Chains A and B, each alone.
Chain A
Amino acid sequence: MGTHENPNVPQIGTANKKGQIITAPEEIFFTSERTQAFLTGSEVIKEAVKRSSVDFSVAYPITPQSEASSLVGELYADGYVGDYMRGESEFAVMGQCAGAAFGGARVFTTTAGPGTLRAFENFPMWAGARLPIQVVFTVRGVNSPLTIQPDTLEIAFMLETGMLLWHAEDAQDLFDFMMKGYIVAELPEVHLPIGVICDGFFVTHTKDVVNMTPENVALPHYNPYANPTPVMDMETAPIRHMRDPFIMKSNYISYMTHASWQLEVKAAMERSRKMTRKLLNGLIEVENPDAEILLVSSGTAVSQSREAIRLFRDKGVKVGLVKIKTIRPFPKEEIREATKNAKYIFVPEFNVAGWMAREIASVVERNERVIAGPHVAGGMTMPPEVIVEEVERTIARMNKK
């Protein structure tokens, strides 16, 4: 008996135990009346979880997500979340999330920076096990010297885990991406874990205006019977992989099985594009694509770029913008198309590595046009004035050559 026909599970049109009406996702996202609120990103995480019919959540403190975790605890106390517990470390948290997801629960957790790396082994395991768990990564610095401030380097570690990775620019994105993320991640043809990323402090601790869906309306419950892999069946994959791991046998069948399983995860990621385009209104957002100079990035770097574009406009210089919403799957066709006429493709980033510039350079033609920078890291801010200055200086230097 699937969740959608289980009489114990509230179905579309009926109320859950908190009186929220279970409503079709598209109705919630696109036609329900939104009300404006002025909230921090942490509060937005609570509000999105409240409306997402979450069965299970595990908490472990690490700045800058600790407030969000404790707010989810309040939701549990109020009866909006099925079950909630504290883990013993981030590694344990992610293992507990896996257990709950194997058991058929819709799972939510959140972590950041060093917590993400401590838990790391679990993420490719989740993807391989096809568990549609949602984690909000409130990214912060990961390297020594220690910092609690925002830095997007941790995303670079996540790129090849097989998880969907969506990067919210602001609190509004965070709210929408979290709810829509469950819908895409749980599609039978996708069924992968999703990391909804927001920049620590710049989003979590910043008060901003958010248009919220109604409080008394919630997403339909997760239907684990639509899982493309059987739930907790010891004889078939993915559990069979663990009971009887290929690591014990080295032969071409084990190699083939491993390779084909990874390819299937990759294919599932590809299949997420269709619904993601529909729900997020495209994998990228483009402004002035015919401009000679383009600023291309994700997260807070996009917000800072928007301000820089205003400063350029005041100077009479037209500068375009490409906002990347999904880092995985990477919108390569869209980026190629949006940047085809640009002379300079600048990639501002909140990390020293410049991984986003590498990602972009790997998909665009004539990639000498891709200029990594400006960069800030470890919690520094990126004033729009600095973006303008660096763009002007770099172009002047290039023209001199």
Chain B
Amino acid sequence: MKTRINVRMSGLGGQGVVTSAHILAMAASKENLFAISNPFFGAEKRMAPAEAYARIGPEKIYDRGELVFPDVVMVFHPQVITMGKSYTMPFFSGLKKNGIVIINDDIDLLSDAEKEGLANLNALVFYVPATKIAHEVAGTELATNMAMIGSLVGLTNVVSMNALDLALQDRFGKKYVASGGTATLDEAIKKKFAKKEMLLQKNLETIRQGFDRAVEFAKNAHYTPIMMA
């Protein structure tokens, strides 16, 4: 039983890393768990490293800022690994023993040294082609983060699909104020879908795809999802 799940999301500006952490924390909050999410990024630009952190647990959480000792590391973009576009080197620095790594790709990106480092930690490494899923299900790469969230939940059960649905409605269903770049992306995704319900629906389906793949992977790997205390 765990009293805290720490998730570090590493990606590139524009991929929805910050939104992912907020949605996950909002979903946890809907489950009456305590949650804190916060992003870290430099002066705003796309393709530059961006990280966001979600801390979730059954007791009040004070800890905030960059997450140094994560249970889960989510890699939203291959360049996090191949070009070192992360806030830590290697990208899994600080990962706890028996931790989880979720990577958005379907080809092996890890060097031998990285593989050895992760094996020493007895880490579970799950590759999920989140961007491909986003294209197939939602018709846009902007839904990459949804497939990533689904994968995380499939491996951890940290929140329910219902709570994610409610969090999505909070984030996209009503007026939301974001900084310039995020607002532009919000507009782009909203234009893509004729109706708001459509956007919510497609996002949820993308989450479901990521979730199903993670559950199947866990089954084949004989992996039991982390349980929260």
Contact = CB atoms under 8 A, between A and B. Distances in A.
Interface of A: 38, 43, 63, 66-67, 70-71, 74, 148-150, 170, 201-202, 205-209, 300, 303-304, 306-307, 379-385
Contacts of B25: 38, 207
B25 to A, nearest CB: 5
B39 interface: yes
- Please report whether the interface of chain A is mostly helix, strand, loop or mixed according to DSSP: mixed
B38 A207 contact: yes
B69 A379 contact: no
Interface stretch (B29-37, B110-118, B119-127, B184-192): B29-37
- Please report whether the interface of chain B is mostly helix, strand, loop or mixed according to DSSP: loop
Contacts of B178: 67
Given A63-B43, A205-B39, A385-B69, A71 B62 contact: no
A149 B43 CA distance: 10
Contacts of A67: 177-179
Contacts of B39: 201, 205
Nearest to A302: B62
A66 B179 contact: yes
A304 B69 contact: no
B66 interface: yes
Contacts of A379: 40, 66
Interface in B31-58: 34-40, 42-44
Nearest to A36: B29
A303 B63 contact: yes
B185 to A, nearest CB: 15
B65 interface: yes
A207 B26 contact: yes
B43 A74 contact: no
B38 A384 contact: no
A379 B51 CA distance: 13
Given A201-B40, A385-B69, A207 B177 contact: no
Contacts of A150: 65
B68 A207 contact: no
B219 interface: no
Nearest to B23: A207
B135 interface: no
Contacts of B179: 66-67
Contacts of B63: 303-304, 307, 383-384
B29 A209 contact: yes
A208 B42 contact: no
13 contacts: A67-B177, A201-B40, A201-B65, A205-B39, A207-B35, A300-B65, A303-B64, A304-B63, A304-B64, A381-B65, A381-B68, A382-B65, A384-B63
Q: Count chain A CB atoms within 10 A of each CB in B22, B65, B179 and give the residue with the most.
A: B65
**Range, interface on chain B:** 20 to 34
Given A207-B26, A306-B62, A380-B66, A201 B38 contact: yes
A207 B37 contact: yes
Interface string B75-99: 0000000000000000000000000
A288 to B, nearest CB: 16
B34 A38 contact: no
Contacts of A149: 40
A303 B61 CA distance: 9
B177 A206 contact: no
A267 B86 CA distance: 51
B65 A202 contact: yes
Given A74-B177, A148-B43, A201-B40, A381 B66 contact: yes
Q: Which 6 A-B pairs have the closest CB atoms?
A: A381-B65, A206-B38, A303-B62, A381-B66, A306-B62, A383-B68
Nearest to A303: B62
Nearest to A42: B177
A65 to B, nearest CB: 11
Given A201-B38, A300-B64, 14 more contacts: A74-B177, A150-B65, A202-B65, A207-B22, A207-B26, A209-B34, A303-B63, A303-B64, A304-B63, A304-B65, A379-B40, A381-B65, A383-B63, A385-B69
A208 B36 contact: yes
B68 A206 contact: no
Given A209-B29, A307-B62, A307-B63, A70 B177 contact: yes
Contacts of A381: 64-68
A303 B34 CA distance: 15
A71 B64 CA distance: 24
Contact of B38 (A70, A205, A385): A205
A17 B40 CA distance: 39
Contacts of A385: 68-69
A206 B64 contact: yes
Q: Count chain B CB atoms within 10 A of each CB in A66, A207, A382 and give the residue with the most.
A: A207
B40 A206 contact: no
Nearest to B37: A207
A207 B65 contact: no
A24 to B, nearest CB: 31
Interface in B133-169: none
Contacts of B34: 209
B217 to A, nearest CB: 29
A388 to B, nearest CB: 12
A151 B37 CA distance: 19
Contacts of B29: 38, 209
Q: Count chain B CB atoms within 10 A of each CB in A67, A201, A379, A381 and give the residue with the most.
A: A381
Contacts of A148: 42-43
Nearest to A169: B62
A206 B42 contact: no
